[in-house]
Amino acid sequence: MTSATGEQHVNIERRIREILRRNTAMPDVMGIDRDEDLLAAGLSSLETVTVILSIEKEWAIRFDEATLSRHMFTSLETLCAAVNERINLDLS
């Protein structure tokens, strides 16, 4: 991972943690492990919708239906990767 890409990933993760903190009842969002299953950690299915909408607004991106799946919420890492991929697709 290059420095710019690494910095972008850290920024995405920080912003997603803040979105989760503001829009969910998950305890200790800021301290959650990057590989911890977000749904198992307490993220509800209703909250996933709010989180996706907040992410789309934050980065002015849109996820298509094929992209949206439970896998996206496997962990903070997979959610960050999905956002990063969408950002890069929109930039190209």
Helices (H), the chain: 3-23, 45-59, 76-91
Model-level pTM?
Answer: 0.87
Average pLDDT over residues 8-18: 93
CA separation for the pair 81, 88 (Å, rounded): 10
Q: What is the pLDDT of residue 7?
A: 84
Sorted by where each begins, the domain ranges of the chain are 3-91
pLDDT tens digits for range 36-48? 999 999 999 999 9
Rounded distance, CA 82 to CA 61, Å?
11
Q: Using an 8 Å Cβ cutoff, are 16 and 80 in contact?
A: yes
For 3-91, CATH number?
A: 1.10.1200.10
The b-or-e profile of 61-86 (16+ CB within 10 A means b, else e) is: eebeeeeeeeebbbbbebbbebbbeb
Average pLDDT (47-63) is 95
Q: What is the pLDDT of residue 92?
A: 62
- pLDDT (average), residues 69-92: 88
